Chains A and B, each alone.
Chain A
Amino acid sequence: MTDFEPKIIGFLCNWCSYAGADLAGVSRIQYPTNLRIIRVMCSGRVDPALPLGFLAEGADGVMITGCHIGDCHYIDGNLHAKRKYGLLERLVAKAGLEPGRIMLEWVSASEGQRFADIVTGFTDQVRELGPNPAVTDPCVKLNLMAAKAAAEEYRLRALVGKEEKLVTEGNVYGEEMTQEEFDRIMEEAVETEFTRNKIRLILSVKPMSVKGLSAETGIDSRIILDHVVALRQRGWVDLHEVQGNSPVYRAMEVQ
């Protein structure tokens, strides 16, 4: 474990965090070499599907940093970053990956030292966790791919996109929703979308029956059946053949 060097990817917003990272350099503040920085204009631009994809591909940790709340160059982009990160956290949990592998922090352009401290801390934390299991364990990888797929689906994106407004200003009818209510709906949606995408991925490898899927995923076959029905309605899954008297399903190519 000692010689393990985690691969860490960091999304930095151009205006505060990236400048903070530069300041760490200008001030010659040293930190571990593991971080690989991707510059984005705003932390709110970080689509949860991106980090999930990197984790699936074996990144040991992903950090996202933006301007402090209130300092956002785009007024409230970092608020949306925060909402999206919420979804990311849920999906990482669903995929059974340690929450410590992702991080969202605010770093201003004047916080060179803070940036270095954050990177150092996160690197140590990930080093502690050890290598990303997705590399060796195909189940975890499958989960992460399912999570990524879920993050790319309409339902979760629409929910997260509306979250800020729903819980601060309310819906079109002006009904404000408490964070708790929203979280409940979100959690349910995440569970569903994650499972359905997982089923679809499994079926895309090889056709299976509901029973088989249940065995593969450890989920009650009745729940699997509901999902399969829904997936068929979406046109993502279709009947492949009937073995004995149990139908076998396959994933459809989705354009």
Chain B
Amino acid sequence: MSEEPRIGVFVCHCGINIGGYVDVPDVVEYATGLPDVAYAEPNLYMCSSDGLQKIQEAIKKYELNRVVVASCTPRTHEPLFQSACEEAGLNKYVFEMANIRDQCSWVHMHEPEKATQKAKSLVRMAVAKARLLVPEEEPEIDIRPTGLVIGGGVSGLTSALSLADQGFKVHLVEKEDRLGGTLLKLDTLFSSNVKASEVINPLIKRVKASTDVTVHLDSRVADVKGFIGSFDVGIETRGEPETLSVGTIIVATGADYLSPEGLYGYGQVDNVVTQMELEQLFKEGGRLDGVKTLVMIQCAGSRNEERPYCSRVCCTEAIKNAIKLVKENPKRDVYILYRDLQTYGIEFSMMEYDAKKSGVKLVMYDKERLPEVTGEERGPMVRVYSPLLDEELTIETDMVVLSAPIIPNEDNEALSKHLKVPLNSDRFFMEAHVKLRPLDFATDGIYVCGTAHSPKEVAESVSQARGAASRAGIPMAKGRLKTAAITSVVDEAKCSGCGTCIELCVYNAITKNERGLAQVTSAVCKGCGVCGASCPERAITMRHFTNEELEAQGLAALKEA
């Protein structure tokens, strides 16, 4: 802003919260004498409608082009005063606050003189910064009202349908030649024992019928360009490249199941199968009639050094199948060898009791003394030490079922590189924040749901898929996205293209332009300023928190009143 700064300073009494300890009139008088301060006044409550009006009148009357309010904390009140300035025709970024309540009068209640001195210097600092403030724009970007969903399993289908129902076009990319994912391999689903087909088929039907969803089978993501609002995603369908222009991306690529080669005789001893294979046997029917004794072994390949995580669904899955087996044939002996039963929540707890009532034998084993499976004439023989009985049980079985864990897709690595989103130590996709942003990536416009993120049962995946659709729907519903003004900007004259900033930015907001120089996508920049503080050439400026502004604040603080 070229014209001379004319700063207005407004000092708040906040009743007696400030006025009771800080000599407000004195501060006002002091402010009047500061460089470029054109006007200063006190008010009982700056944040009251009357106070705000006073600011707006003063802006007009004294042709103020900068405003400083000395009152409480900007964390709660800055937006209020900023909008007041905007209403009076000022850009909201020529506003600065001095926190003389929370960080002055309230913490120095016993030393009014010193508190007053401090209040003055806080005002002096704010004015020093205000002199250098310039108006900032909040650039708007367009968001294409089209979503990309990667993965055609229960999560992907649910997300796609929700986005369509929210009124957006959707591209659904599935690597297999048919939709449905893991549920195609399952017979029934806990906790309601509904047929998996009854869950997945209606979804597939709806997606196929939807005019808003374009399905790409046999397709993989080959590369990703752009940022939120305008991603250009290159996919390959049976070698055929195609570019999809979308606004947001949902990762619903699901997961895989471990094939527990060599564990508990799997692949060596006959009739040692996995829960997934058991589901297949259920689907085919018949073949289990001869099975009189069956042992299920939990944590077959998980919760160990190699694969530390718990696969979440196996215990309930095993219990579901065990109940089914004993109800089919009450004479059947069904054992579940477990370490800790992961039957969490209400429904699964109830299933646990149902299993016990139906006579399923739950035997706890110790990680330090794993069960053993050997091939015998009759069938697999299981030896397991039960700490509770303090004895080793020997069980002659007809079949052993291993609860092998859900494992990440091997193509997670590639996809995470294309999307520039991270994987966690288990090689599943890692969300932006474990607690409060479970469906977002740190990168705007890209979201995750279902087992791509971590092992989950169907209901949880369905909820997450709907949730991810909500997250992705937000920017698309708005159509345009007002991006923050407090961002980094690169001075290309200074930039040497060293790439330090690019590595430092967790939001992938900085890229190299065609001349190999850094360029900030302000739509994506979150304004932390790490890049600026690190740029070897000091070529990056932090808008609204420039070195000059911070320096001015500090030097003002060192001057005495």
Contact = CB atoms under 8 A, between A and B. Distances in A.
Contact of A45 (B111, B498, B529, B551): B529
A131 B364 CA distance: 68
A50 B498 contact: no
Interface string A7-26: 10100001000110110111
B178 to A, nearest CB: 38
Interface in B321-345: none
B506 A28 contact: no
A76 B506 contact: yes
A76 B534 CA distance: 14
Contacts of B498: 158
Interface residues of B, number: 53
B107 A29 contact: yes
A74 B530 contact: yes
A30 B528 CA distance: 30
Interface string B505-530: 01000000000000000000011111
Interface bin, chain A = 35 or more
B547 A47 contact: yes
13 contacts: A14-B75, A18-B75, A24-B107, A26-B102, A36-B122, A38-B550, A45-B529, A47-B533, A50-B551, A58-B558, A76-B506, A157-B500, A157-B536
Contacts of B535: 157, 161
A230 B532 CA distance: 27
The 10 A-B pairs at the shortest CB distance, nearest first, are namely A45-B529, A25-B102, A36-B557, A25-B106, A74-B528, A161-B534, A161-B500, A42-B528, A44-B530, A158-B536
B528 A45 contact: yes
B555 A37 contact: no
Interface of B: 73-75, 99, 101-104, 106-111, 114-115, 117-118, 121-122, 125, 432, 442, 486, 496, 498, 500-501, 503-504, 506, 526-530, 532-538, 542, 545, 547, 550-551, 553-555, 557-558
Interface in A136-189: 152, 154-155, 157-158, 160-162, 164-165
A45 to B, nearest CB: 3
A33 B118 contact: yes
A50 B547 contact: yes
B555 to A, nearest CB: 6
Contacts of A50: 547, 550-551, 554
Interface string A51-64: 00110011100000
Contact of B553 (A19, A25, A38, A58): A38
Contacts of A29: 107
A116 interface: yes
B57 to A, nearest CB: 28
